[in-house]
Structure 1
Amino acid sequence: MKRNWIWAFLLAILFCALLGVSVYSYWDHQTVSVSENRMLTELPELNRDTWFSGGFAMQAEDFVSDHAMFRSDFIAVAQQIEVLIERESDMKLVSRDVDIGVDIDSVDPNIAQTAGSDNAATDQSGDANAAGNGDNAEEADTQQDYLILDDRILSLYVYSESSAQYFVKTINTCFNIVPDYVNKYLLLAPSRIEFEAADLKQYSDPQKPVIDMVYQNVDSLVRTVDCYTPLSQQDVNETYYRTDHHWSQFGAYFAAKAFFETAGVDYVPIEQYDKLTGKPFLGYLYAQNNTVATSLKDYPDTLDYYLYQGINNKEIYYTNAEDGSYLEAEDVMIDPARQGYYTFLQSSCTYLILVGSKTDGSCLLVVGDSYADALVTWFAQSYERIILLDPREYEEGQTGFLNMVRNMGVTDFLIINHVNDLEHVYFTSQIENLTLEAEE
């Protein structure tokens, strides 16, 4: 019996020794915890005094705790969970496939990423009618998923392979019908969610791979504009609005600069512009979700706008008349009285002509979504004329489109979309209408 006790004691000593060697081999040898902002406990000194006073045992316990294997990793995870708990209590997901206003902690992130994927999408043959007909089709196809926080709303992107391929096919056709003497450019703009923290981005499909895919498959004569990189280097709170789905004029500058550098066009740097501030505003995203985003009214967006030496270029815009002709009117390029993002261009029209400051015969034709509005304000000092065409309103088809290119002396042609529009085939189908003959 006594011999068994001795063997048990020796085995316990051996186990403790092996455990000690293992801990010593794998412990965290850091002396400072940056995340906790404190010094870590050092290995205690073993002597007669520390042993009999109990100091060695207490310090050894703290030492083992501070240098346990993967301790720093566990702390990082715990801190991330704490942040998520704080954030998620204020987060809600609004989705076409999830009940409106549902608490985010009850939603699998994959729901946001798959919600509506390929819904209302065309097949890969590019049948524009797959989205339906008329205004109802537009409304159904452009429904958006949102992530709502106390101080901002984020539009989520849902990747659709068929929609992306349809977009590539459509823009290639559009570029190919434009005469080769015209310089051709494509710019895809990421939305705000792409530059948010990872714990928010997880509810949205990544946009950079989609941009890369489109750029790799566009016609070789088309020059692609990388605005993703410069935007990723800026403060997202300055380059994008919080209550609206658009970029700010400041954010659009970095896309314009990327365009100028790609095209080899001279431009005026932002440092030479005057920065002015209009009235705070609550944007489109707030208007769409104000019953859920009740706290957002306390966080209006700041409206900053830029003018070069006080020059506010003239804008001539054209709207469809009932007899098939156009009604012509004039305005100024930037008018804060229009409020919010509408400050940038009077764009509620079929097309507009922005009278630039150059006198060299240069003419840039831009076809795109509303991200173009803030963008083209930066072109006014680099071109003689800028034409902004809204394909959703244009009814003259390919013949009218090509006549515009020839008759207005277009030298450069740019298609611009923000990535979320690739999710919606309706807008792509309107670009496709520029390549088809108009219906009688």
Structure 2
Amino acid sequence: MAHFSHKRRARRAQEEPEDYPVLASALNIGLCVGLLGLFGVLSLVMPKPTVSEFEKRELAKMPEFSAKSLFAGEYTRDVDLFYSDTFPFREGLVSFASTLDEMKGIRMDDLRIHSGGASSSQSEEGLPDILPPGEGDESTSSAPSVADDGAEGEWKGDMFIYKGQALSAFGVGGNMSMADSYAATINAYHAALGDSVKIYNIVIPTHVEFALPERYQSITQPQKPNIDYIYGKLDPAVIGVNIYDTLSQHRDEYLYFNTDHHWTALGAYYAYVEFCKAADLTPVPLSDFTVKTKPDFLGSLYSQSQDSQLRNNPDHVDYYLPSTPYQAYLYQRNQPFTPYATSLFAEYASGVNSYSVFLGGDLPLIRIDTGVKNGRKILMVKESFGNCFAPFLVNHYEQVYVVDQRYFQLGLVNFIQENGINELLFINNIFAANTGIRIQEIRNLMYQQYVPYVPPVEEPSSSQEAPPEDEEAMPPSQEGGANGENPSKEEPLPEEEEDSVYYDDEEEE
């Protein structure tokens, strides 16, 4: 056998040209060098993207050169990161890799189970880690189901993908401790403000409540019992606005985004109609609004899952322009007394940031002066679900104040009293209304004190003089309450034990 192999190798050597291995190696080397050279040239001449639509993030920028960063190793590291982020055709390659990854997994009945996937952290609205199918407290009341056409659902990380929709399951079930805390916090505002301020509360159900057929109802807990429980715990003087029924009646319409955790402006409009009934107002017909659209929106849930079903089913963002004249002013963080003229709609918003068309994103405070002269002034306390609801109020109030409960820095009770505000609306999605941190933020707003931001003092160079030691970031008269007065001395509400399931990571959009 050895002799036969030796003869075969000898015969092959005679048949093949002596330079065959050299030619093959040269071709391989030439191909590799050519490809590297081609991509190197493309990386220099092709325009550099600044945002990844697929990953919904800003890409690394070319760092500025300095001797200090070079010797510290930071410059070369940042250059490497820049070229990695702006590699030619990187977006398509990442998308292709994600599609290949989706082919993995184990299918059990009609669910595909993936390991890993999206982050389990929560959003700034309090969207929690969801429960695996069938886990959690049982409830005797079920959510309304949609017609079942046999479409298969799929767990992707910590969300459920069904018919091109990403859904975050609700996991409170029969545990109403956070609902008790939320209702008590709203009631405390009535106790502090009295009957001079009419208070409303809206709890928004989320997409999962209206999107699933009966066979998938067990992956989430029904939200209506929790909403009804909160409303039942409110002081009789606090008006709980029922928007659940009208959203359920219109659930076949485009009320929620498929790739993002928010509701749409259409969903907010139906809620606005119900609010008008509670506030003794006449809603403006939808046909009277000017409608504009931001196309090709891939939102937060797509960013987390990078699922191809969602990528192939992009959203669009409709927004409705009110005809009532208004002037809006925004107040930035650490500048609570400095108004900047703004618009209620950020027309420049596009792509992954399209939802920011509403109010320009999350800001501590927006004040809106309108052409309405009826003496009614309303302040709305919200998280980002309230952004697309706020513009509808312009039609009915002389002044509208929009406060983000996460970023407002003044004492809210004093602010309401000093500005003659006579109506107060709390609007939160159901996850936020059952999240300890969100509830604590609303509670803290009541009597919090503003502490001016003092930037760190850099050591002056030899050519600069050091600033005076007693120099302040803001005049002393602007510290304290909304008009520079000392805030109320009332004690804040006692802290309650928070459910760790509903903590979030305070990430901004």
Stretch moving more, 201-210 or 166-175: 166-175
CA distance, structure 2, for counterparts of residue 325 and residue 368 of structure 1: 17
SS at match of 1:268: coil
Query: Is the 8 Å Cα contact of residues 312 and 333 (structure 1) preserved in structure 2?
Result: no
1:173 matched to 2:188? The reply is yes
Pick the aligned partner of 1:319 from 316, 321, 332.
332
Query: Is the 8 Å Cα contact of residues 320 and 327 (structure 1) preserved in structure 2?
Result: no
Instruction: Give a deviation string over 1:165-207, Cα, whole Å, max 9, x none.
Output: 2212222112321231111111111001111223333211111
SS at match of 1:246: coil
Pick the aligned partner of 1:307 from 321, 326, 346.
321
1:433 matched to 2:444? The reply is yes
Q: Structure 2 vs 1, CA of residues 87 and 241 (structure 1 numbering), >3 Å: closer, same or farther?
A: farther
CA distance, structure 2, for counterparts of residue 344 and residue 236 of structure 1: 24
Q: Which residue of 1 aligns with 2:161?
A: 148
1:411 matched to 2:422? The reply is yes
Q: Which amino acid aligns with 1:391?
A: Q
CA distance, structure 2, for counterparts of residue 282 and residue 312 of structure 1: 32
Query: Is the 8 Å Cα contact of residues 357 and 382 (structure 1) preserved in structure 2?
Result: no
Q: Which residue of 2 aligns with 1:334?
A: 345
Q: Which amino acid aligns with 1:88?
A: L
Query: Is the 8 Å Cα contact of residues 352 and 388 (structure 1) preserved in structure 2?
Result: yes
Q: Structure 2 vs 1, CA of residues 338 and 312 (structure 1 numbering), >3 Å: closer, same or farther?
A: farther
SS at match of 2:427: strand
CA distance, structure 2, for counterparts of residue 297 and residue 312 of structure 1: 38
Query: Is the 8 Å Cα contact of residues 176 and 226 (structure 2) preserved in structure 1?
Result: no
Work out the number of aligned pairs and report it: 311
Which sections of structure 2, spanning at least 5 residues, go unmatched?
1-106, 122-130, 138-156, 452-509
Q: Which residue of 2 aligns with 1:190?
A: 205
1:88 matched to 2:146? The reply is no
Pick the aligned partner of 2:240 from 211, 224, 236.
224
Q: Structure 2 vs 1, CA of residues 439 and 327 (structure 1 numbering), >3 Å: closer, same or farther?
A: closer
Q: Which residue of 2 aligns with 1:253?
A: 269
Q: Which residue of 1 aligns with 2:372?
A: 358
SS at match of 1:156: coil
Q: Which amino acid aligns with 1:272?
A: D
Instruction: Give a deviation string over 1:257-292, Cα, whole Å, max 9, x none.
Output: 0000011113311122222222221111112222xx
What displacement does 1:380 show? 1.0
Q: Which residue of 2 aligns with 1:243?
A: 259
Query: Is the 8 Å Cα contact of residues 174 and 431 (structure 1) preserved in structure 2?
Result: no
What displacement does 1:436 show? 3.9
CA distance, structure 1, for counterparts of residue 315 and residue 181 of structure 2: 35
Q: Which residue of 1 aligns with 2:58?
A: none
RMSD: 2.8
What displacement does 1:424 show? 1.8
What displacement does 1:152 show? 1.5
1:344-383 equivalences in 2 (<5 Å): 344-383=358-397
1:162 matched to 2:177? The reply is yes
Q: Which amino acid aligns with 1:167?
A: Y
Q: Which amino acid aligns with 1:249?
A: A
Which structure carries more helix by proportion?
1
Stretch moving more, 209-218 or 272-281: 272-281
Q: Which amino acid aligns with 1:284?
A: S
Q: Which residue of 1 aligns with 2:48?
A: none
Query: Is the 8 Å Cα contact of residues 239 and 251 (structure 1) preserved in structure 2?
Result: yes
SS at match of 2:320: strand
CA distance, structure 1, for counterparts of residue 447 and residue 165 of structure 2: 40
1:33-52 equivalences in 2 (<5 Å): none
Instruction: Give a deviation string over 1:22-60, Cα, whole Å, max 9, x none.
Output: xxxxxxxxxxxxxxxxxxxxxxxxxxxxxxxxxxxxxxx
Pick the aligned partner of 2:134 from 110, 135, 139.
110
Using the size of structure 1 for normalisation, the TM-score is 0.65
Q: Which residue of 1 aligns with 2:152?
A: none
Query: Is the 8 Å Cα contact of residues 231 and 251 (structure 1) preserved in structure 2?
Result: yes
CA distance, structure 2, for counterparts of residue 348 and residue 414 of structure 1: 17
CA distance, structure 1, for counterparts of residue 245 and residue 440 of structure 2: 29
Query: Is the 8 Å Cα contact of residues 313 and 355 (structure 1) preserved in structure 2?
Result: yes
CA distance, structure 1, for counterparts of residue 253 and residue 119 of structure 2: 24
Identity rate, percent: 26
Query: Is the 8 Å Cα contact of residues 163 and 423 (structure 1) preserved in structure 2?
Result: yes
Q: Which amino acid aligns with 2:214?
A: A
Q: Which amino acid aligns with 1:424?
A: T
Query: Is the 8 Å Cα contact of residues 322 and 391 (structure 2) preserved in structure 1?
Result: no
CA distance, structure 1, for counterparts of residue 326 and residue 313 of structure 2: 31
Q: Structure 2 vs 1, CA of residues 325 and 421 (structure 1 numbering), >3 Å: closer, same or farther?
A: closer
Q: Which amino acid aligns with 2:298?
A: L
Q: Which amino acid aligns with 1:337?
A: Y
Q: Which amino acid aligns with 2:312?
A: D
What displacement does 1:408 show? 1.9
CA distance, structure 1, for counterparts of residue 325 and residue 319 of structure 2: 11
Stretch moving more, 254-263 or 335-344: 335-344
Query: Is the 8 Å Cα contact of residues 243 and 286 (structure 1) preserved in structure 2?
Result: yes
Q: Structure 2 vs 1, CA of residues 347 and 315 (structure 1 numbering), >3 Å: closer, same or farther?
A: farther
What displacement does 1:87 show? 5.5
Using the size of structure 2 for normalisation, the TM-score is 0.56
Instruction: Give a deviation string over 1:67-97, Cα, whole Å, max 9, x none.
Output: xxxxxxxxxxxxxxxxx98963599996849
CA distance, structure 2, for counterparts of residue 361 and residue 338 of structure 1: 34
CA distance, structure 2, for counterparts of residue 297 and residue 148 of structure 1: 12
Which sections of structure 1, spanning at least 5 residues, go unmatched?
1-83, 98-106, 115-143
What displacement does 1:421 show? 1.1
CA distance, structure 2, for counterparts of residue 89 and residue 254 of structure 1: 35
Query: Is the 8 Å Cα contact of residues 272 and 283 (structure 2) preserved in structure 1?
Result: no
Query: Is the 8 Å Cα contact of residues 316 and 330 (structure 1) preserved in structure 2?
Result: yes
Q: Which amino acid aligns with 2:420?
A: G
CA distance, structure 2, for counterparts of residue 405 and residue 108 of structure 1: 43
